[in-house]
Amino acid sequence: MRSPGTEAAATSPRPSRRPLLGALAWLLGLGLLAGLVGAYGFDQIAAALALAGWSMPLIGVVYLGVLLADTLGWRALLQRFERAGFGSMVVARWVGSSVNGLLPAAQVGGDIVRAHLLARAGVRRPVAGASVVVDLTAGLATQLAFVLLGMGLLIGIRGGSEWLLRLGAGLGLLALVVLGFVLVQHRGLFLRFARLLKRVTRGGPWQGLVGGAGALDREVVARYRDRVRLSRCAGWRLIGWVWGSAEIWLAFWLLGHPIGAAEAMVLESLGQAVRSVGFVLPGGVGAQEGGIVAAGTLVGIGAELALAVALIKRARELAYGVPGLIAWSILELPGRRP
């Protein structure tokens, strides 16, 4: 016979390992970043940052173009009678980006948050979820196109090399993965998952999930079938990726070392590519900076200067992200709507 204490221990839930894994991911990313700063010299990097001075907030203004382009791409997937207000969608996008950038959510938790905020703004939940799923897929596809553009520009600047061909092969494989993800979305991905979950858990609280997943699948397929809206979404997302290069171009200009548009796109595209590969790190901390430093070296930019620009970019993310998390906590209060 079990004692009361033993029975309580048996029935109590096990402590979640997610906070520990999230903390380890943060420590790993910060360790990579600290290693980069230590390798290239803190004093030199600090001196480069001091050159920008008070004008650094201009970079935050430039980033608004990325936020607006990404929101317009997401909004393009919704028909007029389905849409929330543009301001609500900008806020949802901002909050989602803040969650992805600052919290250990494998850079997808923010997309769940923005779908939730869109639903709270009055959009039907299947429509809100489907718009985020398709927008996320369009973002991956257009990022591939942007990275390929960056590689082409890099070949034009430096000439071909064996490692670029290998990177191109890797991107081709990733393109096949994205294509496969699109195909399974057409074949009832969420409904199949919900049925499997229901079978494994034998119903319970997941009983009503099947109907919701079926509605989500139907809305996802409807977004893909509307080629005009899907094309508009992809167009705006590609504009957002390219506009992100203006942030890097301006940072170099503020540091007194102007570069061309081609170099800026190379740094932005490869930096974002490495950040995506390091998706387990919160906000790609360390990975994005390493990618920008490596790309800068390839186009003839000193590592210290490239790292200073990467840190300016990271400072902008913090300047947007911390208020975004505060806004999220306020929006989750009862009666609040984005």
* Number of domains the chain is built from: 1
pLDDT tens track for 110-166: 888 999 899 998 899 889 988 998 998 999 889 988 988 888 888 888 765 655 665
pLDDT at 279 over 80: no
What would the pLDDT profile of 296-311 be if each residue is shown by its tens digit? 888 888 888 888 888 8
Mean pLDDT value of segment 157-176: 64
> 149 or 276: which carries more pLDDT confidence?
149
For range 264-278, the mean pLDDT: 84
- Using CA atoms, how far apart are residues 323 and 165, in angstroms rounded to an integer? 41
Q: Is residue 6 part of a domain?
A: no
24: left (phi over 0), alpha (psi -120 to 50) or beta: alpha
Is residue 15 scored above 90 in pLDDT? Answer: no
Task: Give 259-288 as a DSSP string.
Answer: --HHHHHHHHHHHHHHHHHTTTSGGGTTHH
pLDDT for the residue numbered 336: 62
Q: Is a pLDDT exceeding 80 seen at residue 39?
A: no
Q: Helix crossing, 57-75 with 227-254: angle to 10°?
A: 170
Per the domain annotation, does 15 fall within a domain? no
- In this structure, is residue 4 part of a structural domain? no
Contacts 24+ apart (CB under 8 A), 262-267: 262/153, 262/156, 262/157, 263/157, 263/299, 263/301, 265/146, 265/149, 265/150, 265/153, 266/150, 266/153, 266/154, 266/157, 266/295, 266/298, 266/299, 267/292, 267/295, 267/296, 267/299, 267/301, 267/306, 267/309
Judge whether 59 lies within some domain. Answer: yes
pLDDT tens-place string over residues 313-322:
888 888 888 8
Q: Is the pLDDT of residue 45 over 60?
A: no
pLDDT surpassing 50 at residue 60: yes
**pLDDT attached to residue 164:** 61
Q: What pLDDT, on the 0 to 100 scale, is given for residue 160?
A: 59
Which residue segment(s) compose the domain that 261 sits in? Answer: 26-331
The reply to whether 205 falls in a domain is yes
pTM for the structure as a whole: 0.76
Which one is predicted more confidently, 335 or 42? 335
User: How far apart are alpha carbons 313 and 112 in whole angstroms?
Assistant: 25
Q: Is 20 a member of any domain?
A: no
What are 324's two structure tokens? 């975004």
**pLDDT above 60 for 205:** no
What average pLDDT does range 39-65 have in this prediction?
Answer: 66
User: Is 21 within a domain?
Assistant: no
pLDDT exceeds 80 at position 25: no
pLDDT for the residue numbered 322: 84
For the ranges 105-109, 115-119, 147-151, 263-267, the lowest mean pLDDT is seen at: 105-109
Q: Is residue 77 classed as helix, strand or coil in its secondary structure?
A: coil
Residue 254 has pLDDT above 50, yes or no: yes
Over residues 9-37, the mean pLDDT reads: 48
What's the pLDDT score for residue 209?
40
Which of 28-32, 121-125, 228-232, 273-277 has the least mean pLDDT? 28-32
In a domain, 5, yes or no: no
